[in-house]
Structure 1
Amino acid sequence: MRSIIIAAALALSAFTAQAAEPIEGNWKTASGATAQIAPCGGAYCVTLKSGKHNGKQIGKMSGSGDSYKGEITDPETDKTYAGSGSVSGNSLKMRGCVMAVLCKTQTWSRL
């Protein structure tokens, strides 16, 4: 009986770990600040957790796996752009575009 309970607990733990999307977690931004990406209202909110703009939400994206789309805000100018995120291992390429033509990409690293 005890081994069944332990096996069930391990299976639940493995399921919980797999349930998180690859984009979730803490990331080091190109400027060196820490950004946290966490579920919020059916999407994923990007909130700065360190640096000059600590506590500021700078994005909201939807998606799954390695591809996400939404909006990203430059915290220095408060301008919001069409955004996308692409996860590859411990790297996250964040891209913000104006009119889908003028784009800037940054690579963030998982902490």
Structure 2
Amino acid sequence: MYRTLFMTAALALGVVGTAVAAEPIVGNWKTATGATAEIAPCGGAFCVTLKTGKHAGKRIGNLSGTDGSYSGEITDPETDKTYSGSGAVSGNSLKMKGCVLKILCKSQTWSRL
């Protein structure tokens, strides 16, 4: 009886532990311009939405991936142009990269808040 109870509790804790674990990209980030961007799960991907600054409330990205490496689309809020993009998390830094035709690229490093 105790063994069954122990096994049930261990399984329940394992499931809860897995559900709580989040991707490293999820959270609030300080952008290169000083604005705050929130990255949150949405529709099987991660949406990037500006929370402060001139373009607060604007969704500027959609990235997919796992374990610190992500790709998708990034929009420049100043021009409303969308580029193929990527993000790589290393500790409390997020290197965001946007490219046109995969040859003309610009990078920014964001800091976790």
TM range (shorter): 0.7 to 0.9
- The letter of the residue matching 1:92 is L
Higher radius of gyration, 1 or 2: 2
* Distance in 1 (alpha carbons) for counterparts of 2:29 and 2:75: 16
Corresponding residue of 1:102: 104
Unaligned runs of 5+ in 1: none
* Distance in 1 (alpha carbons) for counterparts of 2:82 and 2:15: 39
1:25 aligned to 24, 27, 36, which one? Answer: 27
Where do 4+ consecutive residues of structure 1 move more than 6 Å? 7-13
State the Cα distance separating 1:13 from its structure 2 match: 6.2
- Report the identity percentage: 71
1:53 aligned to 45, 52, 55, which one? Answer: 55
Count of aligned residue pairs for this structure pair: 107
* Distance in 2 (alpha carbons) for counterparts of 1:13 and 1:28: 30
- The letter of the residue matching 1:78 is D
Which residues in structure 2 correspond to 1:1-111 (within 5 Å)?
14-18=17-21, 20-111=22-113
* Distance in 1 (alpha carbons) for counterparts of 2:98 and 2:67: 19
TM-score by length of 2: 0.85
Unaligned runs of 5+ in 2: 1-5
State the Cα distance separating 1:66 from its structure 2 match: 1.2
TM-score by length of 1: 0.87
* Distance in 2 (alpha carbons) for counterparts of 1:27 and 1:9: 33
